[in-house]
Amino acid sequence: MLDKIIKVARENEKELTFEIGSNSDLILENSITNNLVWTIENFKESKKGKITFPTKFDMVDDILGLDHKGKVIIRMSVNPEYIINRVEFGTSRLDKRIEAINKLKEAGYRVGILIAPVIFVDNWKELYLELIKILDSKLSKKVKQDTFFEIIFMTYSYVHTKINEEAFPNAINLYDKNIMKGSGRGKYRYKEDIRKEGEIFFREQMSKYFPNNKIEYIV
């Protein structure tokens, strides 16, 4: 697969960026397989293109010393600590994720930040404003020079609801019929008015605390 990516990158007229983390968290996987180290060490020889992946984990030390030649973009997913504790079970704490972002930047990687999935719990504005303030205070100056943001509102499914009720009985009930609507068979998304309110909130707060950083999209 990596050979195919390198071939496509080489033959395309444009400078392409390939998403390689859609099916698993590569930082977590690397702690067992060392596959990410192998991937970075081999992709760096590609004459064109970049690779990118998201993560919710802080175990980045194994890739810090690699000569990645600026061809790797790592996007750290963050959420308020309350959401991490009640939804993102088994993932790294917020402070550890921020430490990892700073380490990756020091190692020369380009880093992005996903605020995702945004979950509209009752006090969501307070929680996400606190998150934005924490990022502003704890991200290094180097990170804030050129990091970018992606903001993704939660989508959910009936299947996930039933799985989580059994596997995680203390978790937040993520389905709220008052603010969500059907979006395909057995799937739910937030209604347009709450999504619009969320977008206005994030654009206002991000322009205040991160005026020089691009928001790639809010979806």
pLDDT at 164: 63
Q: Which of 184, 171, 175 is nearest to 156 (CA)?
A: 175
* Interval 78-133: pLDDT, tens: 999 999 999 999 999 999 999 999 999 999 999 999 999 999 999 999 999 999 99
Q: Which residue has the higher pLDDT, 69 or 167?
A: 69
pLDDT at 36: 97
150: which strand partners?
114, 217
> Mean pLDDT lowest for which of 31-40, 139-148, 175-184?
175-184
pLDDT at 160: 67
Per domain, the residue ranges of the chain are 55-218
Q: Which residue has the higher pLDDT, 6 or 104?
A: 104
CA-CA distance, 42 to 36, in Å (whole number)? Answer: 10
pLDDT at 170: 72
CA-CA distance, 49 to 44, in Å (whole number)? Answer: 9
CATH number of 55-218: 3.80.30.30
* Interval 151-200: pLDDT, tens: 999 998 877 666 666 667 777 888 898 999 998 887 899 999 999 999 99
pLDDT at 163: 64
Contacts of 137 (CB under 8 A, 6+ apart): none
Q: Which residue has the higher pLDDT, 171 or 12?
A: 12
